[in-house]
Amino acid sequence: MYRIRNFFTVALLLGATVPLYANNEQRYERPVDKTVRYNGGKIFIDNAFGGVNVHGGDSGEVEVHAVIRASDNELKNAIKVDISSSGEGVTIKTDVPNVIRNSSFSVSVDVAIPPNAPVSVKNRFGSTDVSDTHGSVEVVSRQGSVSLHDVVGPQKVDNAFGSIDIEDTRGDLIARNANGSMNIHGVQGNADVGNRFGSVEINDVRQLTLTNANGSVEVHGTHGPATITNSFASVIATDIGGTLTVTGQNAKVVASDIGGPANISTTFAPVELSNVHGPAVVNNSNGNVTVSEIQGPLSVDTRFGLVKATSIRGPVDVDNQNGGVTIKDVAGSAKVRTSFGPVLIKEVRGSIKVENQNGSIGVGIAAPCHDTHLQTSFGSIKVEIPTGGYNVNARTTFGSVNTEMPLSNMQSTGETLTGTIGNGGCKLELVDQNGNITIERE
């Protein structure tokens, strides 16, 4: 069988023999049952080629139920499960002699421990499950899934080539994985999570630090801050109780319902950010940026992408190149620098400054008026003005300046226009090259 041969090859490279059964193999079984007194210390479990199940018992003893399975009767009898107890704890270790050629085997271990006893499990080529314990848990696994449920106490998991599933635990968590997915839900403690080549989904943790690569990330619900690093896969983060920090590379970022500030950085992918209860900073390149409902200042620095920002309760500062910018409904000022893309601004209740190249500018000034400076080249400028007073200074090259608003003290040459709208007061400076300038009534 192709899968068996490949699996066998991996195990040989690791210096181990694979416990596989062909469909027509004879199987021999031998149970091992032993109960030892727990005198304190840690429960140590060391197994290879079989599942390990650890759960809290209801006595001061350690109960071991193991099943040895082998395709050869001699091998079945040669495999040992050593169980010993001392003041330092209880040790449970499988002992496998040199394997008979063309033979296969496995050893499954079920251990009931006193609920408050700490446990350390080392397993290879098999699943590991720990549940209903009240002491610290440490698991080192290879080639198998790891599951922790209803654990009270700190947890540390190191796994590879298998999934990690952690649910309803109390205590800080450190979890590392590679080449396997991770699903973590309900950790009443700080979570420090790392993975490679596998997806990560996290729900309802106290505080989070997460690093991944080549696998998607989803985080839904933290009671405190969350710091996420990912590359070559997407990041989704919602319902974050504190500051959100995302550092991505070739990673799309979608984040919403952030209880504190947000700091998002990525490349070659879009950013979508909404409902942030604090300031927001977005750094991107080669991807669009869409931001809305920010309860504080917004700063965006990007390249080769569009920027759209709406409902910002503080000043907006956008630095873009080779992309258009759209800004609407801002409680503070707006400053925009871009090139090779249009700029559209409306409902900004603060000063406006736009520096553009090779792109048009369209601005609707909100009442009351604020100082406005618009500058571009190779594109038109259009301004809609409400009632109020403005000191107008507009000029262009290879274009014309036109106004629907009456100006006093007006001076015009066709390419320049100065004068006062109403009683003056706010500066309206419009500078263009190779484009028309139009002033309209709102």
CA distance 306 to 290: 8
pLDDT tens by residue, 114-164: 989 999 999 999 999 999 999 999 999 999 999 999 999 999 999 999 999
Check: CB of residue 409 under 8 Å from CB of residue 419. Answer: yes
pLDDT for res 214: 97
| Cα–Cα nearest to 184, from 168, 162, 161 | 168
Locus of tokens 């002992």:
95
Check: CB of residue 329 under 8 Å from CB of residue 347. Answer: yes
CA distance 107 to 421: 89
* Res 405 pLDDT > 50: yes
* Res 399 pLDDT > 70: yes
CB atoms within 10 A of CB 179: 16
Share of the chain above pLDDT 90, in %: 83
Residues ≥6 apart with Cβ < 8 Å to 184 = 164, 165, 166, 167, 173, 175, 191, 193, 200, 201, 202, 203, 205
102 band by pLDDT with thresholds 50, 70 and 90: confident
Check: CB of residue 426 under 8 Å from CB of residue 388. Answer: yes
Query: Which residues are paired to 191 by β-bridges?
Result: 173, 208
3-state secondary structure of 214: coil
Check: CB of residue 137 under 8 Å from CB of residue 187. Answer: no
pLDDT for res 25: 57
Q: Got the DSSP string for 237-302?
A: EEEESS-EEEEEES--EEEEEESS-EEEE-SSS-EEEEEESS-EEEE-SSS-EEEEEESS-EEEE-
Check: CB of residue 243 under 8 Å from CB of residue 224. Answer: no
3-state DSSP helix/strand/coil percent for the chain, to nearest 5?
Answer: 5, 55, 40
6 band by pLDDT with thresholds 50, 70 and 90: very low
* Res 336 pLDDT > 90: yes
| Cα–Cα nearest to 177, from 223, 146, 206 | 146
pLDDT tens by residue, 165-221: 999 999 999 999 999 999 999 999 999 999 999 999 999 999 999 999 999 999 999
User: Across residues 281-301, what is the average pLDDT?
Assistant: 97
Query: Which residues are paired to 385 by β-bridges?
Result: 441
Check: CB of residue 319 under 8 Å from CB of residue 305. Answer: no
Q: Give this prediction's pTM.
A: 0.90
* Res 427 pLDDT > 80: yes
Q: Which two tokens stand for residue 399?
A: 């274009």
9 band by pLDDT with thresholds 50, 70 and 90: very low
pLDDT for res 202: 98
Residue 191 C-alpha from the chain's centroid: 13
Query: Which residues are paired to 437 by β-bridges?
Result: 381, 401
pLDDT for res 100: 65
pLDDT for res 4: 34
pLDDT tens by residue, 19-30: 444 455 578 999
103 band by pLDDT with thresholds 50, 70 and 90: confident
pLDDT tens by residue, 43-53: 999 998 999 99
| Cα–Cα nearest to 93, from 114, 73, 109 | 109
7 band by pLDDT with thresholds 50, 70 and 90: very low
Query: Which residues are paired to 209 by β-bridges?
Result: 192, 227
Check: CB of residue 119 under 8 Å from CB of residue 130. Answer: yes
pLDDT for res 2: 31
pLDDT tens by residue, 344-398: 999 999 999 999 999 999 999 987 889 999 999 999 999 999 877 899 999 999 9
99 band by pLDDT with thresholds 50, 70 and 90: low
pLDDT for res 152: 96
| Helix (H) and strand (E) counts in the chain | 2, 41
Q: Which two tokens stand for residue 4?
A: 């068996």
CA distance 195 to 166: 14
What is the chain's mean pLDDT, rounded? 92
| Cα–Cα nearest to 359, from 381, 342, 336 | 342
